[in-house]
Amino acid sequence: MSILPLRTELIPFLNPYLPASPVKNGKVSVTLTYAQSIDAKISKGPGIRTAISHAETKSMTHYLRYHHDAILVGSGTALADDPGLNCKWVPANNNYTKSFDNSPRPIILDTKQKWSFKGSKMYDLFMAKEGKSPIVIVTKAPTKEEEYVSYLVCPSDPTTGYVDWKELLQRLNNEYGINSVMIEGGANVIQQLLTKPDIVDNLIVTIGSIYLGKSGVGVSPDNSVELTDIDWWKGTTDTIMCARLSS
């Protein structure tokens, strides 16, 4: 399925929030982005793929993907949404460029190896040369290894079971040459990162005109979080907020 043309005013609006090039102080540039309802839910319920945003802001997502080396989601999102994580946006006057070249490298945080590449939308796109193959983050040597998948073993904190974001990003930079990562969810990943201004460089939130109700999956950080460098764009049914987490 193709995407709507990008609304032209989104280009100057997003420009200050795109990854720094070249990277600043050797730090991998991280963009945290997601779509939420008016009541701060990102899906109708656990594991339910839910359309929140208008097609014009979906095009923005693909434009953002074009500007990042990699795109990361948690295993919950990979399992619930079966996302393609490729890039369908092409620069104007460039009919030649292929989705494969423009697409970021998918990264799946799948410490328990619950997700399979084979049979996924990502796999079909990779086979059609319209998307890249994933890097799967595991915490110990993988119990099964799939063809075309790269496994990155990152030790985890024994109490939380989580890998350390700084270390993970450093390894992605050192071992895969990744300088920028767009993080698209889901709830668990977003919650962690909303309180990490040292990791997240830019925050881009789409707010759709819908309430998803009490059984929806919400995102709300453990502590209050202040934002800086705030800007808003208003589309047909959505608004987009770009900001930075205050440190």
Ligand X SMILES: NC(=O)c1ccc[n+]([C@@H]2O[C@H](COP(=O)([O-])OP(=O)(O)OC[C@H]3O[C@@H](n4cnc5c(N)ncnc54)[C@H](O)[C@@H]3O)[C@@H](O)[C@H]2O)c1
**Site residues (vs ligand HJL, CB under 6 A):** 35, 50-53, 57-58, 61, 73, 77, 81, 83-85, 121, 184-185, 206
Q: With respect to ligand HJL, which residue has the nearer C-beta, 134 or 185?
A: 185
Beta bridge partners of 35: 206
As a whole number of angstroms, the distance between CA 104 and CA 218 comes to 27
Nearest approach in angstroms of CB 241 to ligand X is: 13
Residue 163 near ligand X by CB under 6 A:
yes
| Residues between 101 and 160 that touch ligand X (CB under 6 A) | 109, 111-112
Nearest approach in angstroms of CB 243 to ligand HJL is: 17
Q: With respect to ligand X, which residue has the nearer C-beta, 35 or 90?
A: 35
> Beta strands of the chain (E only): which ranges?
29-36, 41-43, 70-74, 105-109, 135-138, 150-153, 180-183, 202-207, 217-218, 227-234, 239-245
Q: With respect to ligand HJL, which residue has the nearer C-beta, 57 or 75?
A: 57
Nearest approach in angstroms of CB 31 to ligand HJL is: 13
The amino acid sitting at 98 is K
As a whole number of angstroms, the distance between CA 87 and CA 65 comes to 6
Residue 209 near ligand X by CB under 6 A:
no
The item of ligand HJL, ligand X, none sharing an interface with residue 125, based on CB under 5 to 8 Å by kind, is none
Per DSSP bridges, beta strands 239-245 and 227-234 are antiparallel
**206: alpha, beta or left? (left if phi > 0; alpha if psi -120 to 50):** beta
Q: With respect to ligand HJL, which residue has the nearer C-beta, 69 or 81?
A: 81
The item of ligand HJL, ligand X, none sharing an interface with residue 138, based on CB under 5 to 8 Å by kind, is none
As a whole number of angstroms, the distance between CA 39 and CA 36 comes to 8
Question: Is the distance from CB of 166 to CB of 26 less than 8 angstroms?
Answer: no
As a whole number of angstroms, the distance between CA 50 and CA 80 comes to 10
Residues making contact with ligand X (CB under 6 A): 34-35, 42-43, 47-50, 52, 73-77, 80-81, 109, 111-112, 162-163, 184-189, 192, 217
